[in-house]
Amino acid sequence: MGAVWNTQVNYAGANGVGPVAVEVANGRDFDNPGWEACGFELMSHESAVTDWNDGAEIERIHYDEIAALAKTLTGCDHALVRGHILRNPEQIKIHQQLGPIRFAHSDFASTYGDRMRDYFGSADPNATASLLREGITAGDVRSARRMLILQFWRNVGEPKMDLPLAFCDARTVPAEDVRAFPVNNYAGGGFNFDALAVIAPRGRTHHWYIHPEMTRDEVIAFRTYDSELDAAGKPFWTPHAAVRDPEVELGNPSRYSIELRATCLFT
């Protein structure tokens, strides 16, 4: 399997975040064992959304689509979808953190389960709306025997873009290569949590993959938290980062993508 690109990934280090040369392979050629094994998986998934800039349409249609997909993939009893993130030049004008994230990270640390239990017990209207859509209560979230966060990334712009999202096989990233750091008031939304920064490997190789020219009828599912794996001391993270396509000038075209996450509950 040949590399698509020799490029750089920004890794965490003692002096902050710095670029490291990496080989990024073609995820379409990867004999992927599935998201449960390596953390991520490309799949076909058509949506009835017609305007990916219309937040109301996305909430009305796509949240239920993603909840249904999450249930199918995980076998969970409930899937709570709250909010979505659009990443494009217009969103960057609103907040810099809504641009492509160019350092290697996984979204949540092991504290995230407790953070979600507190969040769904709060008066936040997004939390309330997601509970109502699923017909459950904050008590059901708190009593769930297992919580899994499955996220979904979709390209809604040009098939070839400047900063596509690359994923790293979680099996190649042991616990000593990740470290928690606080994220406060993410994108100005008032939400605080701990995420995981990824440290450049020493004496081993992280295996990175890109999925070239994704269409709107494809989505990548990737795991960012699992209380069951966490309790067993196994990787629940899926490192990912925006990387440069060396054939595309920055901003020509820019990345247009949407991300949603499902809080999957097993009762």
pLDDT in tens, 100-131: 999 999 999 999 999 999 999 999 999 999 99
Residues in the chain, pLDDT under 50: 1
By residue count, the chain amounts to 267
Residue 253, preceding bond cis, omega within 30 degrees? yes
pLDDT score of 3: 63
pLDDT score of 1: 42
Going by C-alpha positions, the residue among 124, 58, 108, 47 that lies closest to residue 85 is: 58
pLDDT score of 6: 87
Torsion of CA 220, 261, 167, 93, to 10 degrees: 100
pLDDT score of 5: 84
Angle between helices 125-134 and 63-74 (to 10 degrees): 60
The domain in which residue 255 lies consists of 3-266
Question: What is the reported pTM?
Answer: 0.96
pLDDT score of 2: 52
Ordered DSSP codes for 17-75:
EEEEEEEEEETTTS----HHHHSEEEEE-----S-TT-HHHIIIIIHHHHHHHHHHHH-
pLDDT score of 64: 97
Token pair, residue 109, equals 């640390």
pLDDT score of 133: 94
pLDDT score of 145: 98
Please report where in the chains the tokens 């399997």 appear, as a residue: 1
Residue 96, C-beta contacts closer than 8 angstroms, at least 6 positions apart: none
- Count how many domains the chain has: 1
Question: What are 182-208's pLDDT values in tens digits?
Answer: 999 998 988 999 999 999 998 889 999
